[in-house]
Structure 1
């Protein structure tokens, strides 16, 4: 028995197999196909060459930006032939590299940021096994053995500290992935990039690559990864586009155009076509989701580079069709450049109007997915075979605009190649993502034949050919919105295009419009109850090219209009020239039975009707049951595999949620030999869908797939809206079931509804009265409130408007600009947050702003989260953040500066999840709220149509902490059903209503009491008090208020503040001594010492000099200022004052003590840090003793448990005494409080001294990831 290779990538169903047997040279050769997807692996099987031996993949680009690496840092080769990479590694430049390569652009690849997260887990396990487990076990055993053998108490404590540290490292082990250096250089002719895949600095095996289109070469990250990658070098070497492919895009490309020289039976549909891989999937958005930027850039690339046909196996919900930047780019590509665009319809069926965004456009060819008996047997290994059928999950039309949506169908499954890093040669995928490339490949072979014969075509003519020659399914309304015109047929489409190549309408775009839509879509019960008359308009448009003007002047078509169904009538004739022409369409809906009805008004050429429709007006009518009931029952509904059953129901007035119960009562096996017990459950997919204009389907959709056991009842609940009218229930038995099913179902509507659609309650207003009405059945009623999130609106602190580079310039010369907005916020405690831009976040394809990418960074510029539009509801954009300062960057893009200027103040929302939801008290009367009594609103039964009311009493906000502002609001839900313990959460949530509680400005601080006059009444840190309260105890003597006035002298305060403004450290020291030489009291001198010291410390922390001599001078100045500050304060007297604080000191005197304590603490701390910088091997015993003395003094002043500086001093002291385990322990504490690259290097150094090289490598590798030093590129 021969293996059915033909079933791996189905070709017989579309006629592609026979067509290529007849015309082997029409196999796609001469056709450039772009794959807009997640990236195509150039090393995957079947993707190296075409059937003619030419390169298969002729370009690979990433338009998402997720692989962009900043290489703007430039370094020169040193005398020994090394360059220090951004990873910190010394990179040895091979002598074989060009002699011109003396300057290098440096970048760093953080692999887990750009590679598919599907495999991070496997890689982490392999890395841990190779780099950590054995080494760590050895180090732990060594420390334990030494501790058991040790008799010295100090040594034993050190070894015990080592064991404690090793245990903590194992428990907190986190692999952030490998870091690899990238070097970019020019050989005088072109740019090259090399990746250090060794991760050691050894570049001897690194393979320099130029732009893929120029060299057609790719590199491989070997070892455990086996990742093939390509590069493009942009902006004069300052940016590298690093492209890593993913399985989805590779699989799609293999279906469309794979070629296997030694196994031609595995070929894709168009093995002769050449491919351009355009990665539109952003690695940071759900692993590989598209963005507005990536799609627009992709279309721009296609228009600039002569692409013939595009496949887009991506699909998201939309709010409206043919509007926004992405649609604009696609229209331009199709209309002006003649590019055919095949798009996956989506996998959101079986409900109606679930087709995806680009598929809903009239400019694309939307492809649905179907499965044949051969596919069932050969691909899925099914024992039985059902008739050919659409997959139950394939999305259906019509679109919101009224077009049928799905144009054609193709086989929706394939066994095709996937990337090498998966360690698999091929895999079975199914979806409309697989159907679209099958159709795309089929059309590519048609275009190949046309090009071979020099037959002209246009994208519109190709679409008409494919639709008019498609193989029809059984005619019924469901098929028209499911599979479109039918299954694409290669031979028939080719013959049609050859026969009608010179028709006058070949290049014409016929845009049909009916009341602003592209068809007629009737669901409203009022419309279906009476006949309707519509005015349809057809607009005949040529591409905007000068050489088309004579054709436009001569163009005229005489068309005959006819309806496919007798309940639709239209004008009989129409004469169409360039421009718009209207005609009438009458839809007689009043006589239609409940259910789905479809029809078309076709326009045929009066002289050649055999061509098929030139254009059509699609008509869809969904007729609900005339009777409106609160309970709808259906018994004995028969389901055949893959065939959806639909019912349209008018939602009763007042209904807000519904409960749907389904019971599998019986089944009829198509294979009589199968025992009853072998089919214990049947798999169903069921949908409840309502439709609203300008609102994506997921906003009004319930969808679930489950196995229903025989005789069992399953129940689901979901919200409904009486405002949206008709509800569709769509149920489909899975396509691969061996039996038909008999199902009973019951739908019950429920509703308790407030008299306002949304409750917005302003803090400080009267208790909020909520009036509610029960609907058409008795309801158990117990209102409750749950506020789950605190929303913080944030305005930008910076905005920059700038033009973008070559890849963002449209073919017509328009330059795309970016508006880069920056936002700052602080968290006083850890929180789970999400960032949104309310103005834009619900729109992607239809958005006028083509990009809305945001990135969230910590204080070290490490990206913690990123996001884009929120139409992809399954993507988790939340981030768990520690306390601290954070930055958000938002990039908005458009070619109109005027539009972007209006967005300079665009607000983002920081959505913080509350650790514990807040609730309102629900009381029966206003007085109950005022009295604060236990008189709560009691649960009750509301009779049908009964009204009720209650009052909301807001909660205390103390749990939210401080820092609230008047722009903040709490977001949550008002529930009317019972709580968690009495009904399922699903029922409670289904009937919920949105509630916002808007906060007022917090109260201002009270005036300070007389005893602390001059001090801040707000809660202040000791450092705040030190800087604001200018009275000190000097030499142990108490000073009077006169000295306080001396310190508050404005000129003195100006001098102290001026230190920070002098950037040159040498000049700052000169200025310090000038200030000291002036007539100042000891107290004023102390103020200068301390202010000068802290300005120097700030410089060292934020702008540390890279020049060794400058660094040494700065450290010396800090030590000088610290000694001066210490000398100005009597430590013994200060400690005595601290010990006697209480009733013996006034409030003002206590503040003075705190100032002295703060100044002395700062000075001792800075002195310890500078003594630490003296190398231990060159330090005298006097230096070590001094460090011990200073650290002991400092510990007397510090709160050892509450001040992290105590850990720092302990780490310094133990390291100086070569107790490295103890030093490591305290340094670990430091990075938990405030991490820095310096501390990670210290940990690595300590690990080396402890002979833990694996730990040293672990911390060094994290530095470029945790402390990148720059914000990422967009």
Structure 2
């Protein structure tokens, strides 16, 4: 096997798991614009027309009827009809991403009428405002100077302030990237500078923002911390292209202000897939788990292309776990981020995710496989984390259908870009990776996005529905149970075994069916989690240069129990004739070695040979595989 350079264990900047808006560029629809009447001119000279308001790529009602939020392939539509309350209620989905815009219709309330978004937190530092002490001045103390500019309305602030020290700073559009995302007030440029003043009120820190840039705070309302504001206060500026919220903390009694906003469009789209309800005010136009509530955990610096670092991700994970535990909510996390692996199983972020999940065995964590397919061994990280649920992407039939009401809907097929396994036994499963979903107002026209970033929240929504269903039946679940139920309920991607020729490297276990997964859990099966290593590092065996010599026919796998049911015995079976393995193995307490033999005589023709050894629990053969030993020889 060719060796690749291991990734250093220092903090690595993460790029957004590649996703795109709409279909491939050659087919991408051009956003329509709504004609606006020109205002009356002055002295016979026509005034310039205001910018035309962008329109959605497809009207939301049409998108709903066309099935552009694809739910049928995993059976969610039928499950909703049969079990209307098993829709994610009682479950909290944390969206670790570029942020979530709380002002978008579809992200306002759940199916029960409860607030959809419980909290918004910025762990990226992008919205941090540098504050310094200021003192009111001028006649009657009605002036406050911010960044060298005197502003009126200080008495308005003083009526609310309880502390003697005020703090001021500025929010600069220019540092937030390019328009339209960074044009916070929608006036056509990204050069505005918004003065802010922070004071302590009776109910905590508040910020005043000169939102209309009229040089006065007299007409402004105080903005509390989103979590503490009672009404979950937000503000939208000018033409309201996006929504802002405030996060406050303290450093030795001095306020620390982070303004929260979504200027990438990615996280808001992901949130709508996972848990949107009545998207764009269209009744019944829902994401996968409309009853679930959301945490919007911003980990990406959007102005720098959506990058993140380990520390931001780790703080967001831990915050979500504390938040859910304090409110007795079941937690699902989705992080649609990642970059390409150099050496599977060695990335620091994989270890961080695995460590977190060992400490929180009830949390299901969904990740995107990556968009570097269809080549072998293209799974990114942290998608290669052993204990997470990694989702590959399907191209859903509604996005393939040709115009014409009598034409039959095309089947879902594996997306060309979905990353494949080889050195890692991922993806775990495949779900739709295209969707028409929620976007901030500035991103109107880009409602259709695709990528494994869009597949991961589909898996998160499925997990939330199962957790919600069993909780309502007073059956608590561990993450291992939920993940095993989804894997054990799958059907193959269309064409697998026939014209498609899909393998475990392409589709993992296949396409989960939520009704089957629910019945699996109702049957009192238990899930298991095992960590597998082929040799010293990679989770699967990948001989990219074939066998080293005629004697190179043995592969040792190390298998360790990591969570859920611990089987007393493994029964083993190969799915190809060129792999042989003992029929049964009794596991050791810590780690078990299993040797697989290759029959070199079978490799008579050039190509990639993939075979899997499936381990089952002889005490519950219907529970599905305990683990798989995946082998690929090229």
Q: State the match for 1:445 in structure 2.
A: 465
What whole-Å deviation, never above 9, does each CA across 1:669-726 have from its counterpart, x for those lacking one? xxxxxxxxxxxxxxxxxxxxxxxxxxxxxxxxxxxxxxxxxxxxxxxxxxxxxxxxxx
Q: Give the C-alpha shift of residue 529 in structure 1.
A: 5.8
State whether structure 2 residue 417 is matched by structure 1 residue 357. no
The verdict on how the C-alpha distance between 1:566 and 1:281 changes in structure 2, with shifts beyond 3 A counting, is: same
User: Contact 1:211 / 1:233 at 8 angstroms: preserved in 2?
Assistant: yes
Deviation digits for residues 108-146 of structure 1 (CA, Å, limit 9, x no counterpart):
1112323x5251697899557xxxxxxxxxxxxxxxxxx
| Contact in 1 for aligned 2:236/2:243 (Cα 8 Å) | yes
Report how far residue 321 of structure 1 moved: 3.7
Q: Give the aligned partner of residue 455 of structure 2.
A: 435
Q: 1:378: Cα distance to partner? A: 7.6
Structure 1 residues 300 and 590: CA distance shift in structure 2, 3 A = farther
Q: 1:208 aligns with which of 194, 208, 222?
A: 222
Structure 1 equivalent of residue 304 of structure 2: 285
1:119 maps to what in 2? 180
Q: Which runs of 5+ in 1 are unaligned?
A: 129-175, 544-550, 623-1274
**TM-score when scaled to structure 2?**
0.81
- Aligned pair partner of 2:98 in 38, 50, 61: 38
Is 2:141–2:155's contact at 8 Å kept on the other side of the alignment? no
**In the TM superposition, what are the counterparts of 1:540-579 in structure 2 within 5 Å?**
540-542=561-563, 557-576=568-587, 578-579=589-590
* Alpha-carbon distance, 1:591 to partner: 1.6
The residue aligned with 1:273 is 292
1:84 shift after superposition:
1.2
CA gap 1:386/1:453 in 2 versus in 1, 3 angstroms: closer
Q: Which has the higher helix share?
A: 1
Q: State the match for 2:505 in structure 1.
A: 481
Shift of 1:249: 0.8
1:49 match: secondary structure: coil
Q: Is the aligned partner of 1:182 residue 2:213?
A: no
CA offset at residue 368 of structure 1?
A: 1.2
Structure 1 distance, partners of 2:406, 2:298, is 35
Q: Distance in 2 between matches of 1:451 and 1:529?
A: 55
Q: Distance in 1 between matches of 2:540 and 2:359?
A: 24
Matches within 5 A, 1:634-1033: none
Quick one: distance in 1 between partners of 2:588 and 2:129? 52
Is the contact between residue 354 and residue 385 of structure 2 (CA under 8 Å) also seen in structure 1?
no
1:582 matched residue in structure 2: 593
In the other structure, the counterpart of 2:545 is 524
Give the aligned partner of residue 534 of structure 1. Answer: 555
Aligned partners of 1:185, 1:99: CA distance in 2, in Å? 6
Distance in 2 (CA, whole Å) between partners of 1:382 and 1:438 is 29
Taking a change above 3 Å as real, the CA distance of residues 357 and 372 of structure 1, as seen in their structure-2 partners, is same
Q: Aligned residue pairs: how many? A: 554
Look up the SS of the partner of 2:587 in the other structure.
strand
1:219 aligns with 2:234: yes
**CA 1:449/1:380 → structure 2, altered by over 3 Å: closer, same or farther?**
farther
Residue 525 of structure 1 aligns to a residue in which SS?
A: coil
**Residues 479, 237 of structure 1: alpha-carbon distance in 2 compared, 3 angstrom cutoff:** farther
Provide closer, same or farther for how the CA distance between residues 46 and 358 of structure 1 changes in structure 2, counting only shifts above 3 A.
Answer: same
Q: Do residues 494 (structure 1) and 518 (structure 2) align?
A: yes
Alpha-carbon shift at residue 74 of structure 1 (Å): 4.3
Deviation, 1:405, is 1.8
2:248 alignment counterpart: 233
Q: Specify the alignment match of 2:343 in structure 1.
A: 320
**1:68 matches 2:128:** yes
Query: Aligned match of 2:488 in 464, 468, 488?
Result: 468
Give, in angstroms, the shift of residue 205 of structure 1: 3.1
Query: In 2, distance between residues paired with 1:275 and 1:94?
Result: 38
The separation in 1 between residues aligned to 2:97 and 2:150, in whole angstroms, is 35
1:16/1:606 CA distance change after superposition, 3 Å: same
1:244 pairs with one of 261, 281, 291: 261
Matches within 5 A, 1:56-205: 56-76=116-136, 79-86=140-147, 88-95=149-156, 97-100=159-162, 102-114=164-176, 117-119=178-180, 126-127=187-188, 177-205=191-219
- CA distance in 1 between counterparts of 2:175 and 2:78 reads 45
Change (3 A) 1:274 1:584: same
Contact kept in structure 1, 2:273 and 2:437, CA below 8 Å: yes
- When residues 566 and 87 of structure 1 are mapped into structure 2, their CA distance, relative to the original with a 3 A threshold, is farther
In the TM superposition, what is the alpha-carbon distance from 1:226 to its structure 2 partner?
2.7
Q: What is the rounded CA distance, in whole Å, between the counterparts of 2:575 and 2:393 in structure 1?
A: 25
Give CA-to-partner distance per residue, 1:516-539, whole Å, 9 cap, x none. Answer: 221211112343866511222211
Q: Residue 353 of structure 1: CA displacement?
A: 1.5
CA separation of 1:68 and 1:378: change in aligned 2, threshold 3 A:
farther
Question: Partners of 2:509 and 2:549 in 1: how far apart?
Answer: 25
Q: Secondary structure at the match of 1:89?
A: strand
Distance 1:528 1:228, change over 3 A: farther
Deviation at 1:336, TM superposition (A): 1.7
Q: What's the secondary structure of 1:394's corresponding residue?
A: coil
- Whole-angstrom distance in 2 between the partners of 1:240 and 1:259: 31
What is the rounded CA distance, in whole Å, between the counterparts of 1:496 and 1:87 in structure 2? 66
Distance (whole Å) between structure 2 residues aligned to residue 380 and residue 314 of structure 1: 37
Contact residue 50 and residue 56 of structure 1 kept, 8 A: yes
SS of the counterpart of 1:252? helix
| CA distance in 1: counterparts of 2:120 and 2:404, whole angstroms | 32
Instruction: Indicate if the aligned counterparts of 1:314 and 1:343 stay in contact, CA closer than 8 A.
Output: yes
Aligned to 2:317: 299
Residues 79-107 of structure 1 deviation map (CA, whole Å, 9 limit, x = unaligned): 42322112523242253742525431111
In the other structure, the counterpart of 2:7 is none
Gaps (5+ residues) in structure 2?
Answer: 1-60, 325-329
- 2:397 matched residue in structure 1: 373
Q: Which residue of 1 aligns with 2:428?
A: 407
- Partners of 1:219 and 1:383 in 2: how far apart? 46
Aligned residues of 1:335 and 1:509 also touching (Cα < 8 A) = no
Partner residue in 2 for 1:941 = none
Deviation of 1:608 after TM superposition, in Å, equals 1.5
Among 338, 357, 364, which residue is 1:334 paired with? 357
Q: 1:31 to 1:428 in 2, by over 3 A?
A: same
| Corresponding position of 2:619 | 607
Distance 1:480 1:433, change over 3 A: same
Provide Cα deviations, 1:367-387, integer angstroms capped at 9, x if missing partner: 111123333228999989654
CA distance, structure 2, for counterparts of residue 59 and residue 98 of structure 1: 24
CA distance in 2, matches of 1:378, 1:244: 38
Residues 69 and 241 of structure 1 are in contact (CA less than 8 Å); yes or no, is this contact kept in structure 2? Answer: yes
Partners of 1:89 and 1:573 in 2: how far apart? 80
Does residue 1:597 correspond to 2:609, yes or no? yes
Matched, 1:257 2:272: no
> Structure 1: how far apart are the matches of 2:433 and 2:148?
45
**Are 1:406 and 1:481, in contact at CA under 8 Å, matched by a contact in 2?**
yes
In structure 2, distance between residues paired with 1:207 and 1:375: 45
1:535 aligns to what SS in structure 2?
strand
Shift in Å at residue 77 of structure 1?
Answer: 6.2
Q: Could you tell me how far apart the structure 1 residues matched to 2:403 and 2:98 are?
A: 24
Cα distance between partner residues in 1 of 2:161 and 2:200:
10
2-structure distance, mates of 1:90, 1:217: 27
User: 1:237/1:451 Cα in 2 relative to 1: closer, same or farther (>3 Å)?
Assistant: farther
CA shift in 2, pair 1:121/1:455, >3 Å = closer
- DSSP 3-state at the match of 1:509: strand
Deviations 1:1135-1157 (A, max 9, x none): xxxxxxxxxxxxxxxxxxxxxxx
